[in-house]
A and B are shown apart, each in its own frame.
Chain A
Amino acid sequence: MADAVDMAIVDKGIDDSIGKLTPERIESVIRRVLDKESGARLQVYVETCVRCGLCAEACHTYLSRDKDPDYSPVAKVKATLWEMTRRNGRVDGPFLRNAARIAFTECGTCRRCSMYCPFGIDIAYLLSTVRRICALLGIVPQYMQDTTNAHSVASNQMWIQQDDWIDALMWQEEEACAELPGALIPLDKEGADVMYSVIAPEAKILAQLIGNMAILMKAAKVDWTMPSADGWDNSNMAMFSGDYEIMGRVERAHWERAVQLRVKRVVMGECGHAFRGAVYDGPKWLGWRGPPIPMVHAVEFYYELLSTGRLKIARKITEPVTLQDPCNIVRGRGLHDKLRYVVRALCEDFRDMDPRDEHNFCCAAGGGVINCGPPWKLSRLKSIRVKAEQLAATKAHTVITPCHNCHSGIEDIIGHYKLGMHTKFVNELLVKCIEMPGS
């Protein structure tokens, strides 16, 4: 049985809107998504599943909740999409309330389960389809909907205004120059080798990451730039809320800015889902086969700078560290080996997690789960006990998290399960370890 406390959680974004729905509207929206927006993939996945239950062991929610069968990936699909299909869209309010809770808060679309399904069924895609239906019906967790609204109005996830954006960059340029003279942040430099792409939290709450990047770019003598106006944020929470119209708009703006600046490639900061949105989901929705300009994730970029000697290591971190594999750059880009190369270059005492690489457990924050906000925090932490156990077993002091969601999610896990660790981005370690030019 699903957890009674979680089932009773009140979220205005879901509960208030459900009352306004009519049976006709519910049916027509579900039919539209199932019949018009989906096709062969959905049909093959729904029909091929032989209900073998082999996906269960893959899911951190299932494992963390004492193997309660209600939380296995296939059970989540059964309680949502199969029923919608079977009843041809004729479902009621309580059903949708349950479906929204499952799809938004109990699955982070990390795709670990599709590696455990013998047929390779993309279960995360099926639950994203449920989110899409919920979004069109207007039943989205309130906090998550707010980020989508911010994208819609301010072109970024956190309501950052144009002057605040420039201000954040100028502030970080000053900070960076204090560390390394000449570490400027060039804006709108046409034809630069690299455009550095960030997500809104970097400008709003973790601005030092931008300053760090300015130091690294200067130290490695990279010809780089950042956009001064809209298109700089592709964090794209709309991809997870199911508002694909906004998702497409965010990605189009981002890529149009990059094309306008005629940069040779885009380096995505340490964020997994922004990378996913820019490389897969966005282009897919827009009908592009891939992004118009190559994008590399920061981890791959660091690997390149270190392995070619453009950045040199002067000192190493001595305290024990472990490493989280973010789903969207490991299962989503196969960067686990490069990531370990970078971590080993920076740290003397690296203690790997088990399971690791593509099989590492999710942080339970990604896929928009953490963006469902405070009402769902405790539920999220109940769903991720396995990660706490996995972290504790490493006996590390620092958890390296090259993804914003992993970073915040693991910080919460550490606090809740009293693990006494702390999280760091790779770029925070890099600026401590590299040889500064002229020093």
Chain B
Amino acid sequence: MYPYHVPLVWTAFIALFAGLSYRLVSMARLAAREKTVLPTLDAKYGARSILHWVIPFNSRNMRMRPLFTVVSFAFHICLLATPLLLMGHAVLWKTAWGLRWWSLPPVVADATTLVVIAGGVFFLLRRIAAPEVRKVTAVSDFLLVLLVISPFLTGFVARMQWFRSSIPYSTMITIHIVAGALWLAAIPFTRLSHMLWFVFSRAYMGSEFGAIRRARDW
């Protein structure tokens, strides 16, 4: 039997993009109902706010918490870069679609993977250690971090061929694929949607602060 007869990747990508489109369209309709929301959005100040907040140490709170800022930026950058620029993934795209793609040298990809895992562990520990975070943390917040780092953890274990005697490589890779698919499919429907809404909440606040209130929002 052909080993990949379940089109997991397709399922995950369809869930991701169909989910994101659905969320976007329904949110836009909801936004149109509040008469002042869409007219408030201002391209210049919206963009100003987004750009300002994607640069490390640009805002006062980021400077007040240097460790968090470094970990958070490193985590998010590596989280997006690793799966997109992994040589193993590039090879798959080449064989499947004939697509030529950039990839990171394997040792760099190892490092970025470890940054994601370490960042995830940092966030988990912070949820327990910092009282102001523990106060508002639910079980789902822990599960979400675990879900996010699981493709990285399983991918790394498979790549290093650890535990090969008890778990065969192909099984580990399957677990990795399932974890990755779950992660992608969860983005539109869980708190991971902050990836999508970040742009909009920032743009709205940037517009209110910039265009109407004529102040800075950082």
List the A side residues contacting B84 at CB < 8 Å: none
Per-residue A-contact encoding for B31-60, CB less than 8 Å = 1, 0 else: 101111101100000000100010000011
**B135 proximal to A (CB < 8 A):** yes
Return the chain B residue nearest A288 by Cβ. B36
Task: State the Cβ distance, A8 to closest chain B Cβ, in Å.
Answer: 22
Return the chain A residue nearest B192 by Cβ. A50
Contact A115 B60 (CB under 8 A): yes
**B1 proximal to A (CB < 8 A):** no
**A119 proximal to B (CB < 8 A):** yes
Q: In the assembly, what is the distance between CA of A41 and CA of B208, in Å?
A: 12
Within 73-97 of A, Cβ neighbours of B (below 8 Å) are at 74-75, 78
Contact A72 B135 (CB under 8 A): yes
Contact B217 A53 (CB under 8 A): no
Contact B215 A334 (CB under 8 A): yes
List the A side residues contacting B64 at CB < 8 Å: 57
List the A side residues contacting B204 at CB < 8 Å: 41, 120
Binds A, one of B4-12, B112-120, B153-161, B193-201: B193-201
Q: In the assembly, what is the distance between CA of A120 and CA of B209, in Å?
A: 10
Contact A334 B201 (CB under 8 A): no
Contact B132 A44 (CB under 8 A): no
Task: State the Cβ distance, A383 to closest chain B Cβ, in Å.
Answer: 16
Contact A332 B213 (CB under 8 A): yes
Within 143-198 of B, Cβ neighbours of A (below 8 Å) are at 191, 193-194, 197-198
List the B side residues contacting A375 at CB < 8 Å: none
Given the known inter-chain contacts A39-B31, A44-B200, please indicate yes or no for A67 contacting B193, CB distance below 8 A: no
**A330 proximal to B (CB < 8 A):** yes
**A159 proximal to B (CB < 8 A):** no
Q: In the assembly, what is the distance between CA of A119 and CA of B53, in Å?
A: 9
Q: In the assembly, what is the distance between CA of A97 and CA of B57, in Å?
A: 40
**A331 proximal to B (CB < 8 A):** yes
Contact of A57 among B33, B36, B61, B191 (CB under 8 A): B61
Contact A334 B214 (CB under 8 A): yes
List the B side residues contacting A47 at CB < 8 Å: 191, 193-194, 197
**B18 proximal to A (CB < 8 A):** no
**A418 proximal to B (CB < 8 A):** no
**A161 proximal to B (CB < 8 A):** no
Q: In the assembly, what is the distance between CA of A49 and CA of B200, in Å?
A: 13
Where chain B touches its partner, the secondary structure class is helix
Return the chain A residue nearest B202 by Cβ. A120
Tally of contact residues, A, Cβ under 8 A = 49
Task: State the Cβ distance, B148 to closest chain A Cβ, in Å.
Answer: 11
List the A side residues contacting B134 at CB < 8 Å: 69
Q: In the assembly, what is the distance between CA of A78 and CA of B213, in Å?
A: 27
Task: State the Cβ distance, A51 to closest chain B Cβ, in Å.
Answer: 5
Within 72-116 of B, Cβ neighbours of A (below 8 Å) are at none
**A48 proximal to B (CB < 8 A):** yes
Q: In the assembly, what is the distance between CA of A56 and CA of B130, in Å?
A: 11
**B136 proximal to A (CB < 8 A):** yes
Q: In the assembly, what is the distance between CA of A43 and CA of B138, in Å?
A: 19
Q: In the assembly, what is the distance between CA of A333 and CA of B217, in Å?
A: 11
Task: State the Cβ distance, A301 to closest chain B Cβ, in Å.
Answer: 15
List the B side residues contacting A116 at CB < 8 Å: 59-61
Return the chain B residue nearest A359 by Cβ. B60
List the A side residues contacting B138 at CB < 8 Å: 51
Per-residue B-contact encoding for A334-361, CB less than 8 Å = 1, 0 else: 1000000000000000000001001100
Contact B34 A39 (CB under 8 A): yes
Q: In the assembly, what is the distance between CA of A355 and CA of B213, in Å?
A: 20
List the A side residues contacting B34 at CB < 8 Å: 38-41
**B212 proximal to A (CB < 8 A):** yes
**A287 proximal to B (CB < 8 A):** yes
Q: In the assembly, what is the distance between CA of A54 and CA of B67, in Å?
A: 13
Contact B218 A115 (CB under 8 A): yes
Contact B132 A40 (CB under 8 A): no
List the B side residues contacting A52 at CB < 8 Å: 133
List the B side residues contacting A119 at CB < 8 Å: 194, 197-198, 201-202
**B15 proximal to A (CB < 8 A):** no
Return the chain A residue nearest B214 by Cβ. A334
Return the chain B residue nearest A287 by Cβ. B35
Contact B36 A284 (CB under 8 A): yes
List the A side residues contacting B197 at CB < 8 Å: 44, 47-48, 119
List the A side residues contacting B40 at CB < 8 Å: 289
List the B side residues contacting A39 at CB < 8 Å: 30-31, 33-34, 37
**A121 proximal to B (CB < 8 A):** yes
Task: State the Cβ distance, B195 to closest chain A Cβ, in Å.
Answer: 10
Given the known inter-chain contacts A43-B30, A75-B135, A116-B61, please indicate yes or no for A331 contacting B200, CB distance below 8 A: no
**B27 proximal to A (CB < 8 A):** yes
Given the known inter-chain contacts A48-B197, A52-B133, A78-B136, please indicate yes or no for A289 contacting B39, CB distance below 8 A: yes
Determine which residue in B39, B65, B197, B200 has the highest number of CB atoms from chain A within 10 A of its CB, and name it: B197
Per-residue B-contact encoding for A4-29, CB less than 8 Å = 1, 0 else: 00000000000000000000000000
Apart from A54-B68, A332-B215, what are 17 other A-B pairs with CB-CB below 8 Å?
A43-B30, A44-B197, A44-B200, A48-B197, A53-B130, A54-B65, A67-B132, A115-B59, A115-B60, A115-B217, A116-B60, A116-B61, A119-B198, A120-B53, A120-B205, A122-B208, A289-B40
Q: Which residues of B contact A (CB under 8 A)?
A: 27-28, 30-31, 33-37, 39-40, 49, 53, 59-61, 64-65, 68, 130-138, 141, 191, 193-194, 197-198, 200-202, 204-206, 208-209, 212-218
Contact sample, A vs B, 16 pairs, CB 8 Å cutoff: A39-B30, A39-B34, A44-B200, A47-B193, A48-B191, A48-B201, A53-B136, A56-B132, A69-B132, A72-B136, A74-B132, A115-B218, A118-B198, A120-B49, A358-B215, A359-B60
Q: Which residues of A contact B (CB under 8 A)?
A: 38-41, 43-45, 47-54, 56-58, 62, 67, 69-70, 72, 74-75, 78, 114-116, 118-122, 279-280, 283-284, 287, 289-290, 330-334, 355, 358-359
